[in-house]
Each structure stands twice: as C-alpha cells, then as structure tokens.
A and B are shown apart, each in its own frame.
Chain A
C-alpha cells in the first residue's frame, strides 16, 4: 500500500465523517446533533471530490450541508428546541455483549463483501466535465424518471402550500 496524499486525505475525511456520526448519536442537545451532522455531510462531499465527482460534491454541500441542515435547524428552533436526551443506562452485560457481536459481524460482512468487489472495467473519461455528462445522460437515458421526479416534487410543493393555507384559515376562525 502506498502512502499518498489521496490516502491521507481519505483517512482524515473518513475520520471526520465517522466521528460526526458518532457525535450525532452521543450528544445530548438537539442543536449540537445537527452541527455534528453537518460535519458528516461536508466530509462526505470531500470524499466525492477525492473520487473526482466534483459536481456531486458541490451539490452535496449545496443541498445537504446548506439547505437541509438549515431547514432542520429551523424546525428544531421553532419547536421543542430545549429538548435534551437523558442519559440512559439500561440493558445489562448480555445486551452490551450482543451489541458488540452484532457490530463486529456487520463490519466483517461488509469487509468481506466490499474488499474483493469488482465492478468490471469502468470507462476512463467519467471524471472530465462531470456536470455536462450528468446532464446529457439525465436528459437522454433517464428522461422519464427525471420527469416523474419533477412531478412528484411539484405535488409535494402544492401539498405543502395547501396544508399551510388550511392552518391559516383555522387560526382566523379562532380569533
């Protein structure tokens, strides 16, 4: 195994991604959890860059670290924002032992599954003009799923507007 800059960067990003995930599970305040999640999202974008999928990486930052985290923060701040998880210490020795066993088994299965995985030979030019290639294949090979997706999003959008309109009317009746 060669010790290259790519390897170093991958280890760092993976470490940040995993520790973000672990912190998300272990922190007690909801707002802290979202911040940990943001770190995970950003480091995943970094891993995409290492795979030279620039477009995907930038969109990951734009949608996940930007829009989705902010919507989550908004949601938390507008609702039960002072919620704290109480430290729970239930479950005995056996439970912990089984948990550890489960985690180890999961790790072993994935290691065995991924380590020798071969997708066959891949085309070489995928990393050039990423955005253009994604656009071309989206609008030539996958037009129908793409259009279906847009209709689905439109329906969700209209539904959200209808729902919020109803609330307003009810509040108006109360007053």
Chain B
C-alpha cells in the first residue's frame, strides 16, 4: 500500500495519509516504550528478589510509567544560565529524530513495512549515527564537566562499536547478496535462520548492539557512580524524557533488526506452525530479544573505559573480519547459497 502511495501524484490527501500513518506508528512506539520501561523494572525486580512497581494500576503496576511520564511533563523546564542555549534546546530533538526515522525501514511482517529500501541495513546504521551528534551537542551545550566526559565517552563508544556491528552484518549480506531487509528474510525462508549459519556474527552483533544502545555492561556514558548521569546531567523534565525516549526507541529498533537479521523476522520456526500469523512470531522473537537485553542489565557488571575500547578494537573487530573471511570461503566452497 505504501509503495502505491509513494508512486502516486502528491497532494494534500497523500500528505494527510502519510501524516496519520506516521502519527499512528509514533503512538504504537510510545505504547511500546511505556510498557518496555515497566517490563524492565518488573523483570529487574524479580531478578533481584524484589517485587517492582505494584501500586498504581492494579497488582502489576500497569499505570506506573504513565504516571511517571505525566510527572515529567509537568516538571519545570530548566535551562542552566551558563548553557549554550540554542544547542541545549536543539540537542534532544537531534538525538530523538533519527531513532524514529530508522524504524521506517524495518519489515514487521511481509506486508507491514513503511519503506522497502534497497539499502535497508546500511540505512539503519547510517541514520542511527546521527544520534551521536545530538548526544555530543547535549554534552557540549550543558557546560558541565560530567556532561562533557559522558558525551565524549558516548561518542567514542558509538563510533568504535559501529564498526564490528557493520562487519558482523556483512556476513549476512554476503550470504543474501542484498542489503534489503525483505530479501534477507526471504533468504532465511529458503535456507534457515541466519543464527544457524552465522553464529559468530550473531554473538558479535548482539554485543555491539548492546554497546550501541548504551545498556549495561556498556553504559559508561551514563555511569552514575562516577559521572552523575553523563551527558544528560543538566537536563530535566521534558527534554530529559526525549533522551530516554530515544534510548528506548533505539531498543525497539535494534531488537526488531536483530529479529529480522538473525531470527527470521516474521517466519515461523517450523513449517507446520505456519498457521499462526507472522506478526505473532515477530512479536515473540522481538520480546525475546528485549528480555535478553534486560537480563544482561541485571547480571553483568560495568566494563572499565580502557577495557571497553580494547574489547571493540582487539576482540570484536578481528572476530568479525575472520567471520567475513570464513563466510566467503564457505560460500565459495560449499555453494549452498
């Protein structure tokens, strides 16, 4: 449907349709973020032998995040006097916008996708890189030592971990012969999920993805015991909410990307389970990835800054390069694909 719309002649009606679709999608993602935060707190609570939020909205605390967001919205908007005002205001917007732009290319089922791009995988990586500029701007504009150190750490980490992320994805591109996410899923229908063909790439990709999301054990940019809160130390209220929102939307996007690349997207694991609709399979795989990310947070201690960089450049990158070599070798020798 989107393809037809894209080829039709422009007009107010088309604009309206796109606007409404995007708005609808934004609300779906906001809904996800609301309950992802609740799920995170609940799962963390259970893993640490606590109960987690249980007061507002019944026994499961279903309205807790809604209340938190409302509180954030009515908070006083503070801009420090010594801050660089225009950059301080612009930074949360630049940090959030790319996170919503990247989800456009992710195919949720074979029909539900906003933009079927030929360079889908590369598009995701490229656009998500713009967020770093928002982070750095926030760190810079705050005019605060902790913010600046946090922002520098965040940028260095993002740039370093982007490379193993792309390199491990290349193995899949080699096997599929395309950067298009739809074709990657179609290839998995014929050959089986790529987690079976590319286990090394999966491990490298998952680790780099966790680092890209600034989640524990890679959350040095926001290490609260040394940096207060990292690059958003000076932010509060709505602007702070924008940063948190962007982080969770990236989590949504990255979990979807991992399900599409390695777990077969909307495909059922076995043929005879094909009667269950693709959206359900996608949701299951996606929830599994999100759960594992939360699980990581509850179990791993934080890395040291020098270990972090060494790990990216001396361990992940060589492993990813070796994986590309191995994949090319296998593809040529066995000629399965």
Contacts and interface: CB of A to CB of B under 8 A. Distances in A.
Classify the interface of chain B: helix, strand, loop or mixed. helix
Classify the interface of chain A: helix, strand, loop or mixed. helix
A77 B148 contact: yes
Interface stretch (A30-38, A98-106, A107-115, A140-148): A30-38
Interface residues of B, number: 26
Given A31-B87, A31-B140, A70 B159 contact: yes
A67 B129 CA distance: 8
Interface string B80-99: 00001011001000000000
B126 to A, nearest CB: 4
A42 B130 contact: yes
Contacts of B133: 35, 38, 65-66, 69-70, 73
B172 to A, nearest CB: 14
Given A4-B10, A67-B159, A77-B152, A129 B118 contact: yes
Contact of B137 (A35, A61, A67): A35
B9 interface: yes
B122 A58 contact: yes
B211 interface: no
Contacts of B26: none
B179 A131 contact: yes
A58 B87 CA distance: 25
Interface residues of A, number: 26
A12 interface: no
A54 B140 contact: no
Given A32-B87, A65-B129, A54 B117 contact: yes
B20 to A, nearest CB: 17
A58 B129 contact: no
Interface in A62-98: 62, 65-67, 69-70, 73-74, 77
Nearest to B11: A5
Given A58-B119, A73-B155, 8 more contacts: A5-B10, A8-B10, A31-B84, A32-B86, A54-B117, A69-B133, A77-B148, A131-B179
Interface of B: 9-10, 84, 86-87, 90, 117-119, 122-123, 125-127, 129-130, 132-133, 136-137, 140, 148, 152, 155, 159, 179
